[in-house]
Structure 1
Amino acid sequence: MTQHTNINEVRAFHARLMAVASGSDDHRLERVFASVPREAFLGAAPWKIRVNERYVETPSADPVFVYQNCLVALDAAKGINNGEPFLHARWLGAAALKGGETIVHIGAGTGYYTALLSMLALPNDHVHAFEIEPTLARRASDNLAPFEGVTVVQGDATELPLPDCDLIYVNAGVASPPGPWLKALRPGGRIVFPWRPSKQLGVALMLTRAEASFKVQLLGPAWFIPCVGASDPVGCVKAPSLPQARSISAAWLTEDRAPDDTAVAVCRDVWFSDRSG
């Protein structure tokens, strides 16, 4: 006798995996991953799953196929995907969102991870979701309509002003973090972003605003499509090697403090040191 898969059981098990992958003891992560259906943000099935630079189409519209650690196409022609859940679970665990925080999500796509961010910052949260692709921004607006406190902005987040916030969550590859982004962070605010200072290096960083500097935490490897307006490698005038990137512990805005002999990376608006602030 064939045993049919129960999608609620699949989603619940996926959520348990994400909670473990997060490295966090925040029990809300499992509940949030279980309560937000990924397939609702992916468009019409069958879906295209990216493997080894190729897309493989799911054999049916059964949502069980998207509850794995995979990239799912949002716009296959442009290489835009809904990101790997394990990676985002790790980032969300590190960000340690609290109720009432204000979040800026850059590169929101169709809003799946925006929805998770929103739920983790309940109650009284506000999420500003920026998406530069008009079609994806429209889809995000529709998908996020049931989520209170979420505003979708179609436009270039490197050109538009950001509100004062507690977390900036970036889902596009950044060579040189724009100074205005860092200035938008409140004391204790965090920015999580995939850093691509050179063709050879792709890592995720979390910068936390301290009194005069930013504490830096490495979150592992990360490869994303380029962030329009912040992906030109010319913006990083001194790129680190991987061992140097692993040694980074602090960062400063260049306008606040000029790079010194501890600098292992220097970008247009910010530089990174292997010494604590």
Structure 2
Amino acid sequence: MSKRQTRLDDVRTHYARQMAAMSGSRDPRIERAFDLVPREAFLPPGPWQVVVNNQRIPTPTADPAFLYQNVLVAIDRDKGINNGEPFLHAAWIGAVAPQPGETVTQIGAGGGYYTAVLAVLVLPDGTVTGFEIDADLAADAAANLKPFDNATIIAVDAVTSAFSPSDIIYVNAGVVAPPLHWLKALKPGGRIVFPWRPAENIGVAVLARRAKRGFSARVLSSAWFIPCAGASDYHVTRRQPTPAEARHIKSIFLAQERPPDETAVAVYPDLWFSSANLT
């Protein structure tokens, strides 16, 4: 093994330990997954542009060691598509806690990097299906994921397409509200994590878990993602939350199962967010 490869392996191992710490999870498989999946394999050839405070900074060379830090890496500058912030995704992965054998649906697979990490975490017998509406990006992701037999990319719109019952739904695009069929696709105890954009000045990551009736919900962090085509129309909103209300949601209900009540802080045609715990 060359000295350069040894150095890169050490850098990736250090990065993986940071991801495990950021996940807030005691699951040692998270560190292993980030150590196993090479970030550079899911990006265009280097040198790359890392994004810091909305500024694009080119890496000095095509050395992959520059990628193993908590930075966005541009994939398509014109479309504003990037590889995703590692610390944020590590925290999401720790929160949804993928388990061996589970079925994961990812909405907005991008280049497939986090698809691959999720695929490692549900081995053996688990699967990840990534929806990617951008046909070129979907083709790239499918090529990047060839070594991962349990990962599949579908180049269709997840807002208008049905998908299989899922233990985890992992959303990488901002939504005013999650489409009804996403929530209905969750199995009992299933989890969904998504960037919630109920107003122009609100961007938070929400983790929800399906219960017998309704979904427990909590905000994980701030999160600003590109809008999800077909699920970003503010005009469907019947009640818009304030920033403070959005950060203190505790549950989500389907309107057909329970109409909005005095605890409602955000209301849409098919569902609503509540400030009250599930009972």
Aligned mates of 2:135, 2:125 — CA distance in 1:
28
Aligned mates of 1:239, 1:55 — CA distance in 2:
34
Aligned mates of 2:201, 2:193 — CA distance in 1:
20
Aligned mates of 1:138, 1:199 — CA distance in 2:
32
SS of residue in 1 equivalent to 2:168? strand
What amino acid maps onto 2:128 in structure 1?
V
| CA positional deviation for 1:248 | 1.0
| CA positional deviation for 1:53 | 2.2
| CA positional deviation for 1:187 | 0.1
| CA positional deviation for 1:96 | 0.9
What amino acid maps onto 1:252 in structure 2?
F
* Residue matched to 1:67: 68
What amino acid maps onto 1:273 in structure 2?
S
Asked if 1:199 corresponds to 2:166, the answer is no
What amino acid maps onto 2:239 in structure 1?
K
What amino acid maps onto 1:81 in structure 2?
N
* Residue matched to 1:141: 142
TM-score, normalising length: structure 2: 0.96
Report if the CA contact (8 A) 1:176-1:269 is conserved.
no
| CA positional deviation for 1:55 | 1.6
- Give the aligned length: 275
Report if the CA contact (8 A) 1:91-1:192 is conserved.
yes
1:88-139 CA-to-partner distances (Å, cap 9, x unmatched) read 0000000011111101000000100000011111110111110011111001
Aligned mates of 1:113, 1:45 — CA distance in 2:
19
TM-score, normalising length: structure 1: 0.97
1:178-203 CA-to-partner distances (Å, cap 9, x unmatched) read 00000000000011000001001000
Asked if 1:187 corresponds to 2:188, the answer is yes
What amino acid maps onto 1:122 in structure 2?
L
1:215-239 CA-to-partner distances (Å, cap 9, x unmatched) read 0021100000000111112233222
SS of residue in 2 equivalent to 1:7? helix
Following TM superposition, the consecutive aligned residue runs of length 4 or more in structure 1 with deviations greater than 6 angstroms are none
What amino acid maps onto 1:167 in structure 2?
I
What amino acid maps onto 1:215 in structure 2?
S
Aligned mates of 1:31, 1:149 — CA distance in 2:
17
Moved more, 140-149 or 85-94: 140-149
SS of residue in 1 equivalent to 2:238? strand
| CA positional deviation for 1:254 | 1.1
Aligned mates of 1:155, 1:268 — CA distance in 2:
24
* Residue matched to 1:150: 151
RMSD: 1.2
* Residue matched to 1:268: 269
* Residue matched to 1:231: 232
Moved more, 227-236 or 168-177: 227-236
| CA positional deviation for 1:48 | 1.2
| CA positional deviation for 1:246 | 2.3
SS of residue in 2 equivalent to 1:128? strand
Identity rate of aligned residues, in percent? Answer: 53
What amino acid maps onto 2:109 in structure 1?
A
| CA positional deviation for 1:266 | 1.1
1:207-222 superposed matches below 5 A: 207-222=208-223
What amino acid maps onto 1:92 in structure 2?
I
SS of residue in 2 equivalent to 1:78? coil
| CA positional deviation for 1:54 | 2.7
